[in-house]
Amino acid sequence: MNSELPLIKPNWPAPWRVQALSTTREGGVSEAPWDSLNLGAHVGDDPARVAFNRQRLVEATGIDADRIGWLDQVHGTDIVSLPLSGVPRADASFTRRPGQACVIMTADCLPVLFCDVSGTRVGAAHAGWRSLCGGVLESLVSEMTVAPSELMAWLGPAIGPTKFEVGAEVRAAFLHHDPEAALAFSVAGARPGHFMADIYTLARQRLAACGVRRVYGGGYCTVSDPQRFFSYRRDGQTGRMASLIWLSAND
């Protein structure tokens, strides 16, 4: 991969043919409020600037532009197998095809990247609280058709636990699924009737419950780091970062 773009590389023991990264907001040509490496074509940015930024991603990764599997993300739980033509409406994807990238765009929601320990398949999920609560991670693990114990996951940049204030209904929805989710919520720093949520802990709980024990990453906060990360909660109108995973086409 070309390293000219500022990129975040997962620190995990993935097989050598598994390639993965998250972009930051740095290194592109978009102007404020999308400055600068906005990869989202749906947020009001100049389409020509988005196209240029996406081409920079192609050059940085060496992946063919038509093999980057953009999704129309809707905070749901639908999963697609790539490659597919067009831009499918889904919040997670997986593939066994070398050179095909699974991609998730975020600006506070949690991107979760998956691979199996043998390096035969990869996947990516958009785990905002609605998708996470609805079971997007469990659905993707099931669709990847390998024993969960053979999977590993990496948690990319997302809103941190001291910035993610939610209403009581969000907490109740997670606790309805699993009372242990209470461990991921705190009243410290929250307004009355609200809670601070730790989306990383919630994701780890869901993954552990479905048998995925090898979980890495976490510890970022997109809201607290405006130099590196876009944040919808912080800025409202803003750009989108991308988290990608693919199998190397080279044997």
Q: Tell me whether residue 201 is in a domain.
A: no
114, 123 Cβ separation under 8 angstroms:
yes
At 250, the pLDDT band (50, 70, 90 cuts) reads: confident
Q: Tell me whether residue 185 is in a domain.
A: no
Q: Torsions phi, psi of 231, nearest 5?
A: -150, 115
Instruction: Answer yes or no: pTM beyond 0.85.
Output: yes
- Residue 30 DSSP code: P
What does the pLDDT look like over 109-140, one tens digit per residue? 999 999 999 999 999 999 999 999 999 999 99
Q: Tell me whether residue 125 is in a domain.
A: yes
Q: Where are the beta strands (DSSP E) in the chain?
A: 7-8, 18-23, 68-69, 79-81, 92-95, 101-106, 110-116, 122-127, 151-155, 165-167, 185-186, 194-197, 214-217, 241-247
Q: Tell me whether residue 200 is in a domain.
A: no
What per-residue confidence (pLDDT) applies to 3?
A: 53
Q: Which CATH number covers residue 238?
A: 3.60.140.10
Q: Tell me whether residue 190 is in a domain.
A: no
Q: Tell me whether residue 198 is in a domain.
A: no
Q: How many domains does the chain have?
A: 1
10, 20 Cβ separation under 8 angstroms:
yes
Q: Tell me whether residue 180 is in a domain.
A: no
Task: Please state, rounded to an integer, the average pLDDT across all residues of the chain.
Answer: 96
Q: Is the peptide bond before 15 cis (omega within 30 degrees of 0)?
A: no
End-to-end CA distance of the chain: 16
Q: Tell me whether residue 25 is in a domain.
A: yes
What does the pLDDT look like over 144-184, one tens digit per residue? 999 999 999 999 999 999 999 999 999 999 999 999 999 99
Spatial distance between the Cα atoms of 142 and 21, rounded to a whole number of angstroms: 23
Q: Torsions phi, psi of 163, nearest 5?
A: -120, -10
Domain span at 46:
7-158+212-247
Q: Where are the beta strands (DSSP E) in 128-238?
A: 151-155, 165-167, 185-186, 194-197, 214-217
**Tokens read off for 177:** 């699924």
What per-residue confidence (pLDDT) applies to 24?
A: 98
Spatial distance between the Cα atoms of 96 and 136, rounded to a whole number of angstroms: 19
90, 105 Cβ separation under 8 angstroms:
no
